[in-house]
Amino acid sequence: MTEVVRVGMAAIIKRDGKILMHKRKGKHASNVWAFPRGHLEFMESFEEGIRREIIEETGLEVGKISQPVAITREFYDKENKSYVTLFMVAEYLGGEAQIMEPDKCEQWKWFGKEEVPKELMKPIDNLISLGYDLFGDNK
């Protein structure tokens, strides 16, 4: 297998002071909470990629999407995977999050600041370690 660094993207979607996360299931990072996320595909812009992932994973309607607001670096020794993760903020417009990929998602949930679970996917832990406030404007 060729060793490569993958580009992951994660969408921070806020609604009524809460953020959207899903409980993951499957082979990679199972039983932890994560934002809608996926891989950047060849010849795809950041906005196109994260918009595609949001639709594929949640079915939500989103508006404006920011440029990356933060970048983290992850290593998964057990899986022999290496990632750069780009975080973008997506404007929530409407709809309810649906489980569109039942093999990867157990449930979707909106979390308030005091409700965020401790079992987070590594990129989110890294993002918080950088000082990023998931509920702030981070200017």
What does the pLDDT look like over 95-124, one tens digit per residue?
999 999 999 999 999 999 999 999 999 999
**Rounded mean pLDDT of 58-69?**
96
What phi-psi label fits residue 57: left (phi over 0), alpha (psi between -120 and 50 degrees) or beta? alpha
Sequence letter at residue 122: K
CA quadruple 22, 87, 40, 84: dihedral positive or negative? negative
Rounded to whole angstroms, how far apart are CA atoms 101 and 98?
9
The stretch 21-32 carries a mean pLDDT of: 87
Q: What pLDDT is stored for residue 27 in this prediction?
A: 74
Compute the distance between CA of residue 21 and CA of residue 105 in angstroms, rounded to an integer: 10
Dihedral of CA 70/35/45/7: which sign?
positive
User: What are the sequence ranges of the domains in the chain?
Assistant: 5-129
Q: What is the DSSP string of 103-125?
A: TTEEEEEEE-TTT--S-B-HHHH
Q: Taking the model in full, what pTM does it have?
A: 0.92
Residue 49 near residue 56 (C-beta atoms within 8 A): no
- The residues facing 61 across adjacent strands are 94
As a whole number of angstroms, the longest Cα–Cα distance in the chain is: 45
- Paired with 9 in beta bridges are 38, 86
Mean of per-residue pLDDT scores for the chain = 94
- In this prediction, residue 81 has a pLDDT band, given cuts at 50, 70 and 90, of confident
- For the residues 5-21, what does the mean pLDDT come to? 96
**What dotted CATH number matches 5-129?**
3.90.79.10
